[in-house]
Amino acid sequence: MSQEQLKILVVDDSDVLRRIVREALGVIECEVFEASDGKKGLLALAEHPMDLVILDWHMPEMDGLEMFFAMKEQEKLMSIPVIMLTAEDHKESMLTAIRSGVRHYLTKPFTHEDLLARVVQVLRLDQK
């Protein structure tokens, strides 16, 4: 990974889940930003360039898939990789997200190791 500190945005309406993700990410050198819905997530992306977005599907105001599609419409955001971290465990939903361009899809509950493995894999893919 690069010498600069990674910036990761966690977008989830659950304070507890955002804390758990922050704790899981504590073993890698990164700065974690948080947002409680898709609209706030897009505002955070407008203020800070991010290396990765970890995104919940079901949230008030703007859900994760809507935020993902909004990111794809903006040239400066379209290349940011997204990991969907969600309780949405239907195969059709997972296929929709992956076919739309989400890099990884992880269902809740998850382990810190599962999340970290996906984060490391996605960030290494972007280092090519």
Domain span including residue 24: 6-125
Is 17 part of a structural domain of the chain?
A: yes
Looking at the 3D structure of the chain, how many domains does it have? 1
Per-residue pLDDT at 1: 43
Q: Is residue 19 part of a domain?
A: yes
Tell whether 63 is covered by a domain: yes
Q: Which two tokens stand for residue 108?
A: 């809740």
In a domain, 68, yes or no: yes
Residue 59 maps to which CATH number?
3.40.50.2300
Please check whether residue 79 lies inside any domain of the structure.
yes
pLDDT in tens, the chain (128 residues): 445 789 999 999 999 999 999 999 999 989 999 999 999 999 999 999 999 999 999 999 999 999 999 999 999 999 999 999 999 888 998 999 999 999 999 999 999 999 999 999 998 855 54
Closest-CA residue to 48 (of 101, 93, 1, 11): 11
DSSP bridge partners of 105: 84
Residue 91 counted as domain residue: yes
- What are the strands of the beta sheet with 104-107, ordered from one edge? 30-35, 6-11, 52-55, 82-86, 104-107
Residue 1 lies in a domain: no
Q: Are 12 and 36 in contact (CB under 8 A)?
A: yes
What the block records as the tokens of 25 is 């990410």
